Amino acid sequence: MSATALKKPVSTTPDWRAVLAEMGPRLEAEEIRADATNEFVAENFALLQQQGFLSLAVPTELGGGGLSRSELAEMLRTLAHHGSATALAFAMHTHATAGAVWRWRHQKAPVDGLLKRIVSEGLQLLSSGGSDWLPGSGEATRVDGGYKINARKVFASGAPSAGLFMTGAIENTAEGPTVLQFGLPMSSPGVSIVESWDTIGMRGTASHDVLLKDVFVADAAISARRPAGVWHPMMHLIAMVAFPLIYAVYTGIAEKAYGMAVAAAAKRHGAPPVEAVGELATEWAATRLAHDSMVAFSETAQPGPATTNEIFIHRALVCRGVLKTVELAMEVAGGASYFRRLGLERLFRDIQGARFHPLPTGEQRRLAGRMALGLPIDG
């Protein structure tokens, strides 16, 4: 389903809690269908777009919902109760929007036109973060009036319905490899989706590859330039804004698994496994507290090395906690958790995705170690 096929939103400021409560069963049914057939949660994205969810992060001054980062995290955590893949793919649009909002508010960046389009058109942003962490990827060749781009971008969650691809490519300059950042309409000549997403979990995200073949990007479309492979202020901003929202989804999955496991344990024959439930409750509490702390910190922090380190320490704690919470939930529910009909099996598969976002364990520990020793962040 293309972005242009979707209807315009019926509301830009929905009561998202009431909407999710009402649409929850329908969202979950689509999630289960998409997981079973290895297809995109297209109907869920259409519903969320029609209800104005795409503009929840946009400031009220620009016609959006004006949700804070804490409120956005709560929304994504709640959405994950109804669909893991739906929430994760939606988080990628949400964090890209929230990053633009931060730049608009704090740097007076001229992104108000983009934010207004999200409201008026129900425009969905697509992130290529899986391909474009510090090193970047792809090739930008100078041509008259701009660049010719050739790249294959992986992990583009929500690609089938997206309208604008927030991505980049590397230009070889006299100063060294330089990553050019730009927004690219998915309808541009030379842009195609390669249906590569066939995974153990998060199957409904349709995190396919996006192929860019001789795509023209005008000079005016280049929004930022940064040295490849090193930390840059833009990357510190992404770390501060994106990861509390992405991990809100995994926290929501763990919360759903906790509730399902306790309910299943109460129905088990004989005495319920009280001690095991207590261990699960304790692990879930630690996970919830770690994520709450991560979000609260990000609300008032300023992007920079110290903030990035703090965010990724939190990310490590939340990742460890959600994985352990769902593992314990499987044990508490007992043999019933092995059956697909209970739903814990799907949550167990989906939660594994928490392992694979930046920064992986080794890189996070090196960053934390360098910062603790007073060493430069790059090295």
Tokens of 218: 């005008």
- Give the CB-side neighbour count of residue 220, counting CA atoms within 13 A: 1
What's the chain's length in residues?
Answer: 379
- Domains of the chain (ranges, CATH numbers): 3-123 (1.10.540.10), 139-227 (2.40.110.10), 233-372 (1.20.140.10)
CA 168 from chain center: how many Å? Answer: 18
Cis ω for the linkage preceding 359 (within 30 of 0) = yes
Q: What is the pLDDT along the chain (379 residues), one digit of tens a residue?
A: 444 344 454 445 679 999 999 999 999 999 999 999 999 999 999 999 999 999 999 999 999 999 999 999 999 999 999 999 999 999 999 999 999 999 999 999 999 999 999 999 999 999 997 778 999 999 999 999 999 999 999 999 999 999 999 999 999 999 999 999 999 999 999 999 999 999 999 999 999 999 999 999 999 999 999 999 999 999 999 999 999 999 999 999 999 999 999 999 998 887 789 999 999 999 999 999 999 999 999 999 999 999 999 999 999 999 999 999 999 999 999 999 999 999 999 999 999 999 999 999 999 999 999 999 999 999 8
Residue 168 contacts residue 182 (beta carbons within 8 Å): yes
Parallel, antiparallel, or unpaired: how do β-strands 164-173 and 125-127 relate?
Answer: parallel
Residue 31 contacts residue 41 (beta carbons within 8 Å): yes
The whole-angstrom separation of Cα 256 and Cα 263 is 11
Burial of 174 (0-12, 13-18, 19+ CB in 10 A): exposed
Whole-prediction pTM value? 0.95
The 8-class DSSP code of residue 174 comes to T
Residue 196 contacts residue 206 (beta carbons within 8 Å): no
CA 344 from chain center: how many Å? Answer: 22
